[in-house]
Amino acid sequence: MALDHPMSRTASQQQAITVQYDAAHRRGLATGCDVRSHMSHSAQPLVIRFGRLGDTLLLQPMLRRLHARYVQPCHVLARGRYAAELYQGHPDVADMLVLDAHHQPFVLSPEQWHVVHQLRRMRDVPVYVAELQPTSLARIRFLLKMAGIPDRHCVFLEHIPLPPDSHWIEHLLQLADATPPAFHSAFGHVACMTSAVPELVVSPQERADCDQWLIHRQLAGHPLVLLQAANKRTVRWNGVRKASDDDKSWPIEHWTRVVAAINTQWPDARILLCGSPAEARYLETIRATMAQSGVEVVARDLPVPRLKALLAIAHSMISVDTGPAHMAATMGCPLVVMFGSGPLSYWAPRGASPDAVRVLGGPPRQRVDAIAPDEVIAAWRGLPLRAPPSSRVEAGLTSMALT
């Protein structure tokens, strides 16, 4: 299938429309490429990705660019209820279609039947498939076929070459710059320059919920340092994975030293062990082993909307490479993130303030446990200061569309 992409256009074809989105767009005040030759056409693109939390968040710059190119916000088909929570009220997202169990056989999955029914209403929209995992990609192709969406309406990330040392976001933006063959005449000439930094929005309701939760947990007014010790591999159906089998596992004694350093520098701080509800028992074990003051497990209390709001006011986060680390960078929370074997050039979290993200580890080191506690402590102490929660709440800054 031939794809139209800016890199393959001649100079005469590249009568491109260039627009730089500003803060007005991020607050939903801009509608896209504000050019007369473009405004006569609009469409509502569909973006599909069956990733985890971090993968879904990293779609955002692509959604922004597609919103700019096609004038209208995107439909998104994603995996997991967290995807809908992540993009609730986001100006680049029109609606979310969610699959919790996309690997189930189609004949046994009413959820997939419903998605196909919804997709049949989108037979005339440009479709962007941002998936590379073979099993998920095969299921996406099957769902599109069942919905009657032709290949000429689609572009696939697997057909977009990735330049060396490029970030995943750049790969997705290259996909967003491509045009499905069926839409070439209307949109093939449209190119938009938009930010490559993800942005999320905290609603007033999410802010109020977080504020009430902080009061209920007696955390309001304290500097809040978030620790993300677990990752998607840590807890399996049959228990905690052995550390030797997990390149993102960091020893409890290392976390204990970090917590001691935080308590020394910020005696009034509250150190919150974050994670999913399934990780709560594991985190309780870490807390008990640490035997440090001011440490609380909040994994059962952090749905995605509350975590967004919490990251908007927290003092800082220290995390292994996982989805909440990407959320922290996006929300402007000063972050130290530890990588194992994952390439930093491809996966490092991005935020509006690069100085607020300190990345440790990665190749040639192959495991997070090769990172010494002193490295993490030094990186945390070097993070830029952020206003304490109490002053941010009083100033009404727990909710923001980051600029």
Q: Give residue-wise pLDDT tens across range 179-201.
A: 999 999 999 999 999 999 999 99
Q: What is the pTM of this model?
A: 0.85
- Parallel, antiparallel, or unpaired: how do β-strands 316-320 and 239-240 relate? unpaired
Residues 6+ apart with CB under 8 A from 205: none
pLDDT of 223 over the 60 cut: yes
Q: Residue 179's CB: how many other CB atoms inside 10 A?
A: 24
Give the CA-trace dihedral at 276, 280, 286, 292, to 10 degrees.
100
CATH number of the 6-187 domain? 3.40.50.20
Q: Residue 327's CB: how many other CB atoms inside 10 A?
A: 27
- Where are the CATH 3.40.50.20 domain residues in the chain? 6-187
pLDDT of 22 over the 80 cut: no
Contact 168, 57 (CB under 8 A): no
CATH number of the 204-394 domain? 3.40.50.2000
Share the mean pLDDT of the chain.
85
**What is residue 232's predicted lDDT score, i.e. its pLDDT?**
60
- Where are the CATH 3.40.50.2000 domain residues in the chain? 204-394
**Tokens 């909307």 label which residue?**
305
pLDDT of 402 over the 50 cut: no
pLDDT of 123 over the 80 cut: yes
pLDDT of 140 over the 60 cut: yes
**What is residue 235's predicted lDDT score, i.e. its pLDDT?**
54
